Amino acid sequence: MAASANDPHAGAPISRLVAEVAAQCPGERITLGEMAEAFGDRAFGLLTLLLCLPGLLPGMSAVFGLPMLILGVQMGLGYRQPKLPAFIARQSIRRTDLLRLTPGSSTRVSRAIARIERWVRPRPGVFTGAFADRVVGWLTAYSALMLILPGPGTNGPPAFGTIVMALGVVENDSKVVGLGMALTILGNLFATVVLVALVWFGLEAIGYLF
């Protein structure tokens, strides 16, 4: 979703935008509601990115899946900015964790983001229009469902694809959004096949026993 012309953060790289938001919210913890307001027109991509990163960690994905599902549905419905329910908006992350994404932290995450920012850049195209934003939203919602549902090895592929897709959305990079869409579709197909197979084997086992 391209940032509007009156967005003060338009064109700013991810690391700088995160640093500015952290400076605006000096408390020990920063709520999702505060970030949604501060990120402006880029809130969908940045919040999806922040919520999806824990999806790569076992046991953490279900916690962040519901907020991500809500974001995806709203984006799929054409919302320009997130409208988070109060119980979601009150959820928070530590300010120190957010600052780990900025260059001054010299962490592996910040160095990885710095390398990504050299490659990802504003490149408007077919995957950065209004229709593409809706497709991104529904793909994000489906990924969130895959993160919420338990299954061995089913979290990583959808989460990784959605992270790439969110990076492209934040930077208005059509090529990266397109790549992320492809990875997300493949990741979700893999997760769906695994989950369906688990259900099938479970039903077969129940039928065999009883």
| Tens-digit pLDDT profile for residues 106-158 | 667 667 767 777 788 889 999 999 999 999 999 999 999 998 887 777 888 89
In a domain, 130, yes or no: yes
Cβ atoms 171, 122 nearer than 8 A: yes
Residues of the chain with pLDDT > 70: what percent? 83
What pLDDT does residue 54 have?
66
pLDDT at 5 over 50: no
Q: What domain count does the chain have?
A: 1
In a domain, 61, yes or no: yes
d(CA 139, CA 133) in angstroms, rounded, equals 10
Q: Which two tokens stand for residue 163?
A: 């992270």
pTM over 0.85: no
pLDDT at 57 over 70: no
d(CA 20, CA 97) in angstroms, rounded, equals 14
* Domain of residue 35, residue span: 14-209
pLDDT at 192 over 90: yes
In a domain, 183, yes or no: yes
For the chain, how are helix, strand and coil distributed in percent, rounded to 5? 70, 5, 25
What pLDDT does residue 175 have?
94
d(CA 191, CA 81) in angstroms, rounded, equals 29
Cβ atoms 157, 191 nearer than 8 A: yes
In a domain, 9, yes or no: no
If we measure between CA atoms, which residue out of 24, 29, 14, 25 comes closest to residue 95? 29
What pLDDT does residue 103 have?
63
Ranked by mean pLDDT, which of 94-98, 147-151, 180-184 comes out on top? 180-184
Burial 74-110 (b: 16+ CB within 10 A, else e): bbbeebebbebeeebbebbeebeebbbbbbebeeeeb
- Among the listed ranges 74-83, 114-123, 163-172, which one has the minimum average pLDDT value? 114-123
Say which DSSP state 2 is in: P
Between 209 and 83, name the one with better pLDDT. 83
In a domain, 8, yes or no: no
